[in-house]
Amino acid sequence: MNQWQLWRRTVVFFWRSHAAVAAGVAVAAAVITGALLLGDSLRGSLRRMSLDRLGPVDAVLRTDRFFRATLADELQARLAQDPRHGQVGLTGFVPLLVLEGVVETADGRPSRTAGGVQVIGCDERFWQLESDKDSSLVLPRLSGSVFPEPNPAAGLDAAAQEEPVVLLNKPWAEQMGLEPGQEILIRFSDRSAIAPESALGRKDRTVRSWRVRVAQVVPESRWTGRFAWTNFQQKPLLVYVPLAALQQRLNQPGRVNTILAIGQPDHTEPPEGQDALVADCLRPTAEDYGLRIERVEQGKYTYIHITTDRLLFPPALEETVRRALVGCRF
């Protein structure tokens, strides 16, 4: 008996065991293949959903402090002068003031409350990003803009007490049972420079309330109705408010905390080198970092006095200031 005959007779004699092993291998291979296909499909679906929520936005610049809204215009001007401008596909920058808040119905009926709501302060530049001009959505336009501009002559307190109109996205409006014309109450934390939990922080009046009126519900068919830059599967809860009114409510006139980098409408992915170019063109000033720099002369000595609007210098900012002052003579 040769080796081949031995193998053949072994397979025939133990065919039940071999069949069970073969079936197990086939099932395992099918499970692994299905898991790989499902995982790839899920990743692709999540990626498409994330890109769909971003709309024309290629990048988001956001920080936990307020900076000048004009920084977006300065960034656009520097980018236009850079010879690499045509290679990155950016068309503009839009400043936003974004907060997370809690919204409560205020129409006299039993109140309904929702947390984790994105309160987005924006102006006409944001709504000009809508490419679908033939949509049935009719945005409220007062004085030629989506939101009415507050009256500067009325003063900060009077402007903050005005009842501005706001826009809601459809999923959240349906969840809360809200319709145009109803009033809601927006609550968000007071963005103080000193944290309330610190020894010097204020323990009272740390939450601001704002009564506003719903003017329009943005459908999910528009990217502004599903706008989000965080990767999660739940539908975002959005409230769009007038930028100037939110700035006045926070006592932060002319300041924002987010800049959107707008790309070409036909781009599926940001071109390579876009982030590096934006970083090169971004030139925040000391004011944007909350720094105040003073030159002090006392007799024959001169020194630089640097203070921050925070309780303590952030370590990264402190290290940057130290490096900038190395070798300087005054």
User: Each residue of 32-50: pLDDT tens digit?
Assistant: 888 887 777 767 666 777 7
What pTM value is reported for the model?
0.73
How many angstroms separate the CA atoms of 188 and 184, rounded?
A: 13
DSSP 8-state symbol, 224: G
DSSP 8-state symbol, 128: T
Together in a domain, 113 and 256: yes
Together in a domain, 30 and 107: no
Tell me what pLDDT residue 163 has: 54
Number of domains in the chain: 3
**Predicted confidence (pLDDT) per residue in 163-208, tens digit:** 567 888 888 788 888 888 888 888 888 766 555 555 555 555 667 8
Together in a domain, 64 and 119: yes
Is 330 part of a structural domain of the chain?
no
256-to-62, 122, 205 alpha-carbon distances in Å: 9, 10, 22
Is 189 part of a structural domain of the chain?
yes
Please state, as a whole number, how many other Cβ atoms lie within 10 Å of the Cβ of residue 48: 11
- Work out the pLDDT band at 152, boundaries 50, 70, 90: very low
Together in a domain, 243 and 314: no
Whole-number mean pLDDT of the chain? 78
Tell me what pLDDT residue 164 has: 65
Tell me what pLDDT residue 87 has: 74
Residue 257, domain extent? 55-281
Which stretch of 37-51, 113-127, 147-161, 282-296 has the lowest confidence by average pLDDT? 147-161
Together in a domain, 62 and 28: no
Is 306 part of a structural domain of the chain?
yes
Q: Could you tell me which of 135, 130, 136 has the C-alpha nearest to residue 55?
A: 130
Tell me what pLDDT residue 71 has: 93
